[in-house]
């Protein structure tokens, strides 16, 4: 992966991607430059990852073969206006949530090759889940390249753009749902007599271990659940409460609500 990469924005998600690329050796630090207006962030990225930095977007565009747009959706319009004056046809990759491909082509033209990515919080520890889609201007080789880039920070899947709102509802918002579940497990442990620290340690490792088992198995989650559910046992009693309270249906509705909200935001 010898292409030079220019990051527009040097926030947490940009740093996660840079960290993954440099630590895994997929891209050398000297092939990466970051345009970031905040001096403290520039200093941080330069000192920790030894990448090039600049205060202004035009200062990195000419030397980049790939541009990664890593700014918040609400400022993307201004960024694209600045980019339009110096953009010369490079592959663009955006990680801004909610903005459709048409938003970018509307400002930069229909000929721009664009990959839209929805990463999630796990990218911060190189355990992310990223979904990618593209427009017709992106070649198979370029799309494979984008998948390899985001493979440095976790798992990737390819979807069609109309499914990106569903991705946002599931993996984008999903970490918050999991944190809420872990919080409930901890509170349950405290209620039944454990110290909060012990309950936290057990809850976090329980969720982590269960997810690892799921990742290493092709079995349906119901099959794995049955393996730890003895007839008339403790787990069966607990599962009955979850079923009676509509736990599964509530999670489905939460994902659907997040998906619908993502769709609404994208239409604004």
Phi, psi of 74 (to 5 degrees): -70, -15
Task: Cite the residue boundaries of each domain of the chain with CATH code 1.10.3730.10.
Answer: 172-267
Strands 114-118 and 91-94: parallel
Instruction: Please tell me the least confidently modeled range out of 73-77, 138-142, 177-181.
Output: 73-77
94 pLDDT more than 80: yes
The DSSP element (H or E) to which 32 belongs, if any, is strand 32-35
By residue count, the chain amounts to 268
CATH architecture for segment(s) 172-267: Orthogonal Bundle (1.10)
120 pLDDT more than 70: yes
Torsion sign over Cα 134, 168, 95, 18: negative
With cut-offs at 50, 70 and 90, classify the pLDDT of residue 171: very high
SS3 53: strand
Average predicted confidence (pLDDT) for the chain: 95
SS3 168: helix
14 pLDDT more than 70: yes
Q: In angstroms, how far is CA 90 from the centroid of its own chain? A: 23
* Region class of 141: left (phi > 0), else alpha (psi between -120 and 50), else beta: alpha
SS3 252: helix
Q: Provide the token pair at 245.
A: 């309270």
Give the CA angle between residues 164, 45, 74 to the nearest 5°.
40
Q: Hey, how many other C-beta atoms are within 10 angstroms of the C-beta on 72?
A: 11
Task: Cite the residue boundaries of each domain of the chain with CATH code 3.40.50.720.
Answer: 5-164
Superfamily of domain 5-164, CATH level 4: NAD(P)-binding Rossmann-like Domain (3.40.50.720)
At 69 the pLDDT is 97
2 pLDDT more than 90: no
Phi, psi of 26 (to 5 degrees): -65, -35
SS3 268: coil
pLDDT tens for each residue of 190-226: 999 999 999 999 999 999 999 999 999 999 999 999 9
Ranges of H-type helices in the chain:
12-24, 39-49, 58-61, 73-84, 101-108, 140-151, 164-167, 174-191, 196-215, 221-227, 234-244, 247-267
By the 8 A CB rule, do 44 and 69 touch? Answer: no
At 266 the pLDDT is 77
Residues 6 or more apart whose Cβ sits within 8 Å of residue 65: 3, 4, 5, 90, 91
With cut-offs at 50, 70 and 90, classify the pLDDT of residue 98: confident
pTM: 0.90
Q: Which residue has the tokens 């940009």?
A: 14
Instruction: Give CA–CA dist 115/204, Å, rounded.
Output: 34
């Amino acid at each position: 992966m010898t292409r030079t990469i220019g990051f527009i924005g040097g926030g947490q998600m940009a740093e996660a991607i840079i960290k993954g690329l440099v630590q895994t050796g997929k891209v050398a630090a000297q092939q990466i430059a970051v345009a970031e207006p905040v001096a403290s962030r520039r200093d941080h990225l330069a000192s920790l990852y030894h990448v090039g930095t600049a205060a202004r977007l035009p200062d990195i565009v000419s030397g980049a073969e790939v541009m990664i747009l890593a700014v918040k959706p609400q400022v993307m319009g201004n960024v694209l206006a600045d980019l339009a004056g110096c953009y010369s046809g490079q592959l663009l990759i955006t990680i801004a949530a909610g903005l459709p491909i048409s938003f970018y082509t509307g400002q930069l033209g229909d000929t721009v090759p664009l990959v839209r990515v929805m990463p999630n919080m796990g990218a911060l520890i190189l355990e992310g889940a990223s979904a990618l889609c593209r427009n017709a201007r992106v070649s198979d080789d370029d799309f494979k390249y984008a998948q390899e880039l985001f493979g440095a920070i976790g798992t990737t899947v390819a979807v069609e753009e109309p499914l990106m709102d569903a991705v946002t509802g599931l993996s984008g918002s999903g970490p918050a749902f999991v944190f809420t579940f872990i919080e409930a497990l901890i509170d349950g442990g405290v209620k039944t007599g454990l110290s909060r620290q012990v309950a936290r340690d057990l809850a976090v490792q329980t969720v982590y271990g269960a997810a690892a088992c799921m990742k290493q198995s092709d079995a349906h989650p119901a099959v794995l659940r049955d393996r730890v559910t003895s007839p008339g046992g403790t787990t069966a009693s607990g599962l009955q409460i979850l079923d009676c309270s509509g736990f599964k249906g509530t999670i489905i509705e939460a994902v659907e609500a997040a998906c619908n909200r993502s769709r609404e935001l994208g239409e604004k």
